[in-house]
Amino acid sequence: MGEDVEKRGKDMAMTDRDVDVPTRILIEGLLRTDGTVDGRTLYATADALDKTDQQVRLCIKRLVTEGKFTQEGRGRQATLRATPKALREMEPDVEFVRLAYQQDRDTVTPWDGYWHLAGFAIPESSRKARDALRTRVVYLGGALVQGGLYVSPHAWEPYIRDAARRTRRRTAPVFSHHSRSESGHARRPREDCRAVVATGPDR
């Protein structure tokens, strides 16, 4: 019986080919520090994930049409270059992935104990812009404290300001940061944040 269980476990083991990685994510994931993607590496990785050359070409075409990449050369000899717009959008992703790896390897500086709050108010008449900003804030790792107020353990202020600018509204986020040590004893994040909502923000 034990042998049967072990055999079934091996049969059910997930391989790289079992994971469906969207082609767009694949391309962005291969972005190098100089903002380029090597065509040979891209096609070789796509092949390892059972993706066809046609899938890769179509995705590249869409990314170029969207203004996120430019293409130099053709096929496997090509080099994709991210545009400034794409780099701004992907910057948090790159930093978050790097942080995750550093945390896994215990090579990152321990958390300094500061909670970073970001608050904003967009009227109901601009619901689309408000929803877009909320979605972006949550994507950046923000946790809702109360209406229009979010918290993160990371220094995310530049990303929130950039997200607010993208709404094309006159929305100026308000920021504040607070150390749990200032409260005299450790609390849960939500309690810490509510304790300092009235202490006055800094921009």
Of 67, 84, 101, the last residue of a domain is 84
Rounded-to-integer distance, Cα 21 and Cα 193, Å? 37
Flag whether 26 is in a domain.
yes
Flag whether 154 is in a domain.
yes
Q: Which residue has the higher pLDDT, 133 or 109?
A: 133
Rounded-to-integer distance, Cα 142 and Cα 151, Å? 5
Rounded-to-integer distance, Cα 197 and Cα 176, Å? 9
Flag whether 109 is in a domain.
no
Flag whether 151 is in a domain.
yes
pLDDT > 70 fraction of the chain, expressed in percent and rounded: 71
198 — pLDDT class (breaks 50, 70, 90): very low
- Return the DSSP state at 175: E
**Cβ–Cβ under 8 Å, residues 31 and 64:** no
- Phi and psi angles of residue 189, each rounded to the nearest 5 degrees, phi first: -50, -45
- Tally of domains within the chain: 2
Is 90 exceeded by the pLDDT of residue 11?
no
The H or E element that residue 161 is part of is: helix 157-166
Flag whether 76 is in a domain.
yes
Q: What is the CATH number of the domain that holds 141?
A: 3.30.70
Q: Does residue 9 sit in the same domain as residue 71?
A: yes
- Strand order across the beta sheet in which 143-146 lies: 143-146, 149-152, 114-119, 174-179
> Cα dihedral angle (27, 32, 33, 35), rounded to 10 degrees?
-60
Express each pLDDT in 83-117 by its tens digit: 998 887 777 666 777 777 777 777 777 777 788 88
Flag whether 135 is in a domain.
yes
Flag whether 98 is in a domain.
no
Residue range of the domain that includes 186? 114-197
Express each pLDDT in 15-46 by its tens digit: 444 567 889 888 988 888 888 999 999 999 99
Q: Which residue has the higher pLDDT, 105 or 173?
A: 105
pTM, to two decimals: 0.49
* Widest pairwise Cα distance in the chain: 67
Q: Does residue 120 sit in the same domain as residue 160?
A: yes
Q: What is the CATH number of the domain that holds 15?
A: 1.10.10.10
